[in-house]
Amino acid sequence: MTAVKEKLMRYVFMLTATVSIAAVLLICFFIFSNSIPAIGEIGIINFLFGKIWDPDLGLYGILPMIVGSIYVTAGAITVGVPIGLMSAVFMAFYCPAVLYRPLKSAIELLAGIPSVVYGFFGLVVIVPVIQKIFGTSGKGVLTASLMLGMMILPTVINISESALRSVPGSYYEGALALGATHERSIFKAVIPAARSGILAGVILGVGRAIGETMAVILIAGNQTVIPESILSGVRTMTAHIVMEMGYAQDLHREALIATAAVLFVFILIINLCFSAVKSGTSRESRKKKTERNAGNGGAVNER
């Protein structure tokens, strides 16, 4: 009976995995089957590097949206990753026990807030502050970056904290035994050992920043031009698709689906880059560990 149950569960797990893979393949098939004809009709150079989007004139250049997505995502990483990592370090090594539970609950609450609520917060709080400081409309790359940096904080903090806590205590204790301070032990021994988990948190945070739509629509300015500064209005690819898909038809609709395909490839490239960095750091760590072990072995043989 036990063998039958195990065999049944194996098929169940295989079926669920197959469904997940099939869903991804179906999405890819739908996106690319609808986008390739549109890109062929528009021209891949005109589509990817065109600076004007005007369906009435038959112009479908998405370069401003690509640049806008890159700027906003880079700004979100610049704001969210350092704050998230430092917060994770505080939660794992410095936070008093009486304060840990309320802070953890607050971080989890941040993760559950709908994006439209973040957008309204940015519209009511951040936009007026930027208006008062810089004398602009307040909607632009800087505002969207601050907002998205805030939105990715829960993801970066939770995953980075878990990665830091998963590092064996011997790393920290060994650094202390060698004379390192508390801070140096954390930043020179524990954090490098948790690098893979921290990068995973950054990747997930970047994925949310790239895919965010509603908050960006409310505070980014939605201008289909390449931004001249961090205070200029911008439109990301996700916001672009949402704002025009409701009334788009024929080639206009297919061009928006092609924009989704570009966004898909954009996210894939970013994930591959992070994976390459992660693999490189892992190989470097293994190489250093091998050299260290070899050196220790040589010292033992000399003794």
Please, are residues 141 and 219 in contact by the beta-carbon 8 Å criterion?
no
pLDDT at 65: 92
Please, are residues 155 and 88 in contact by the beta-carbon 8 Å criterion?
no
pLDDT at 303: 42
Q: Is the pLDDT of residue 75 over 60?
A: yes
Among the listed ranges 77-81, 106-110, 295-299, which one has the minimum average pLDDT value?
295-299
Mean pLDDT of the chain: 86
Output the six-digit token pair for 227.
Answer: 């931004």
Give the confidence band of 8 by pLDDT, cuts at 50, 70, 90. confident
Residues 6 or more apart in contact with residue 197 via CB below 8 angstroms: 159, 160, 162, 163, 164, 166
What percent of the chain has pLDDT above 90? Answer: 30
**One-letter amino acid for residue 240 of the chain:** H
Tens-place pLDDT, residues 199-212? 888 888 888 888 88
List C-alpha distances in Å: 257 to 37, 40, 142: 11, 13, 28
Mean pLDDT for 58-70 is: 91
**Helix or strand run (H / E) with residue 55:** none
Among the listed ranges 3-7, 42-46, 85-89, 227-231, which one has the minimum average pLDDT value?
3-7
pLDDT at 146: 92
Tens-place pLDDT, residues 156-200? 999 999 999 998 888 888 888 888 888 899 998 899 888 888 888
Output the six-digit token pair for 296.
Answer: 């220790």
Q: Is the pLDDT of residue 39 over 60?
A: yes
Q: Is the pLDDT of residue 62 over 80?
A: yes
**Helix or strand run (H / E) with residue 210:** helix 195-211
pLDDT at 282: 63
Residues 6 or more apart in contact with residue 79 via CB below 8 angstroms: 145, 146, 148, 149, 150
Q: Is the pLDDT of residue 301 over 50?
A: no
Domains located in the chain, CATH noted: 63-285 (1.10.3720.10)
**Cα–Cα distance measured from residue 107 to residue 259, given in angstroms and rounded to the nearest whole number:** 33
User: What DSSP string describes 71-116?
Assistant: HHHHHHHHHHHHHHHHHHHIIIII--HHHHHHHHHHHHHHHHS-HH
pLDDT at 127: 92
Q: What is the pTM assigned to this prediction?
A: 0.82
Output the six-digit token pair for 188.
Answer: 């020179």
List C-alpha distances in Å: 153 to 72, 73, 234, 236, 238: 15, 13, 22, 20, 20
- Write down the residue that tokens 């990301």 correspond to: 236
Mean pLDDT for 84-100 is: 91
Q: Is the pLDDT of residue 302 over 50?
A: no
Mean pLDDT for 13-35 is: 89
